[in-house]
């Protein structure tokens, strides 16, 4: 967890312990369900925990706000962000039942009372949120309509979608017709993995 401590020196001992516990639980779960590839599992802190927390370099979710994680898979980026922001409620959704069951188990094992996980497609949700996060589920033009109406009418400042993506996104953003702001994670993290990794922000309104 030295990597997380290096980039987020304000993390408490309890948070660092939870991140360590999450890696242990994820590793055990991955043996049964194959949530991420073996090379990625070998670099879990760098490629998954830190990548998820890249969103926290771009936005600070205020206490009491609500965050929807769409296509969470094995709980990324939602579970790491829930550890980072214990006073924020996270709702993690995915259409694949076995992945959601794994997320529910991990959240319970870690005692993350600020997390709920549900097997449902984003477009079938009716609840509204302050923020939406996701990790490269689909092209922006495809993804954004699923969540465009999921924001509270009076959402928090900086409300909107924070989307973890990689590569050259200029064509994809142009195709979507959305007003998007792109932040390079290489501005914060020096590892080679982050050379092309980005957070795309699309405001709620």
The torsion angle over the Cα atoms of residues 82, 85, 90 and 94, rounded to 10 degrees, is: -40
Provide CB contacts within 8 A for 155, sequence distance 6+.
129, 130, 131, 204
In angstroms, the CA 119 to CA 97 distance is 6
pLDDT single digits (tens) 118-171: 999 999 999 999 999 999 889 999 999 999 999 999 877 799 999 999 999 999
Provide CB contacts within 8 A for 113, sequence distance 6+.
none
> What's the mean pLDDT when you consider all of the chain?
94
Q: With 80 as the cut, is the pLDDT of residue 40 above it? A: no
Rg over CA atoms, the chain: 16
Residue 159, token pair as written in the block: 């409300």
Predicted local distance difference test score (pLDDT) of residue 136: 81
**Interval 180-200 mean pLDDT:** 97
Question: Could you tell me the pTM of the whole model?
Answer: 0.96
25-29 contacts, C-beta under 8 A, 24 or more apart? 25/105, 25/106, 25/109, 25/110, 26/74, 26/75, 26/106, 29/74, 29/102, 29/105, 29/106
Predicted local distance difference test score (pLDDT) of residue 1: 72
**Interval 40-55 mean pLDDT:** 91
* Contact predicate 83/75, CB 8 Å: no
Report the relative pairing of strands 89-94 and 115-119 from DSSP bridges: parallel
Predicted local distance difference test score (pLDDT) of residue 76: 96
Q: pLDDT band for position 39 (50/70/90)?
A: low
pLDDT single digits (tens) 80-113: 999 999 999 999 999 999 999 999 999 999 999 9
Predicted local distance difference test score (pLDDT) of residue 29: 85
Q: Closest Cα to residue 147, out of 78, 58, 80, 71?
A: 71
Predicted local distance difference test score (pLDDT) of residue 31: 79
Buried b (16+ CB within 10 A) or exposed e, 71-91: bbbbbbbbbbbbbbbeebbbb
């Amino acid at each position: 967890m030295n990597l997380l401590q290096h980039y987020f020196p304000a993390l408490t001992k309890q948070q660092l312990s939870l991140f360590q516990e999450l890696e242990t639980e994820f590793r055990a779960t991955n043996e049964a369900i194959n949530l991420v590839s073996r090379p990625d599992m070998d670099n879990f802190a760098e490629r998954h925990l830190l990548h998820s927390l890249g969103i926290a370099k771009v936005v600070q979710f205020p206490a009491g706000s609500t965050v929807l994680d769409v296509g969470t898979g094995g709980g990324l980026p939602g579970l790491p962000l829930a550890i980072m922001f214990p006073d924020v409620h996270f709702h993690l959704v995915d259409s694949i039942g076995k992945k959601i069951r794994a997320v529910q188990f991990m959240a319970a094992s870690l005692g993350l009372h600020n997390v709920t996980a549900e097997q449902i497609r984003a477009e079938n949700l009716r609840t509204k949120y302050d923020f939406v996060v996701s990790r490269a589920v689909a092209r922006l033009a495809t993804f954004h309509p699923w969540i465009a109406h999921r924001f509270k009418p009076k959402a928090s400042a900086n409300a909107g979608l924070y989307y973890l993506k990689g590569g050259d996104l200029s064509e994809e953003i142009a195709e979507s017709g959305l007003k998007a702001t792109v932040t390079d994670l290489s501005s914060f993290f020096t590892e080679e993995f982050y050379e092309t990794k980005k957070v795309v922000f699309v405001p709620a309104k």
